Amino acid sequence: MSKITNAQFKKSAFALNAADGLLAFLTITHPDLPEPWRLVNDDKAESVISRGMEFRGFPFLLTLPDVPEDSAPGPGRLVVDNVSREIGAIVRAIQTPANVLIEIIRIQRLDFVERTLPLMELSNITGNASQVEGDLTRERYEVEPFPAALMTVATLPGLSA
């Protein structure tokens, strides 16, 4: 993820008018889905075309995972208003965690991704008549064991030669 933030991005992030604001684009993928489910947090538009892909306009609330320095990160949260039967069908199709790609794009430049967040997993999906929600977590590579295998004479006999 690029940490470079240009002046126009900052201006759009703090814009008071919606003409030059930011939109959150989600791409949810899962082996049980026939195609990726693309959402944009824009309840005014039925769909938005970005980079040749159609993103459906659904109101949603996105809370990113907290990343404290001294402990494991807490999960984030994705809450989507249950305004379509399509949402229920997708929730029923997903029985294991799905991958979620989050992209931030300026309204004025829909074909240019300003910020891409690390790939996250959507799990613990629950829902009712008004909303569907789930936990967002990210892979913590810094806690992976390293090295994965020890190089000893027992595992690599050629080391003693």
In a domain, 122, yes or no: yes
Question: What gap in Å lies between CA 137 and CA 148, rounded to an integer?
Answer: 23
List CB contacts of 71: < 8 A, sequence separation 6 or more: none
Predicted pLDDT at 80:
87
Name the domain count of the chain. 1
What does the pLDDT read at residue 43? 73
> Does any domain span residue 19?
yes
- E strands present in the chain: 22-29, 37-40, 47-50, 53-57, 60-63, 76-81, 98-106, 113-116, 120-127, 131-138
Q: Is residue 161 part of a domain?
A: no
Kindly list the averaged pLDDT for each block of 10 residues, start to end, along the chain of length 161: 55 60 90 90 84 90 74 78 80 86 89 88 85 82 67 78 60
**Residue 136 maps to a domain:** yes
Q: Domain range for residue 66?
A: 7-140
Q: Considering the domain boundaries, does residue 104 fall inside one?
A: yes
Domain membership of residue 160 (yes or no) is: no
pTM of the model: 0.72
Is 154 inside any structural domain?
no
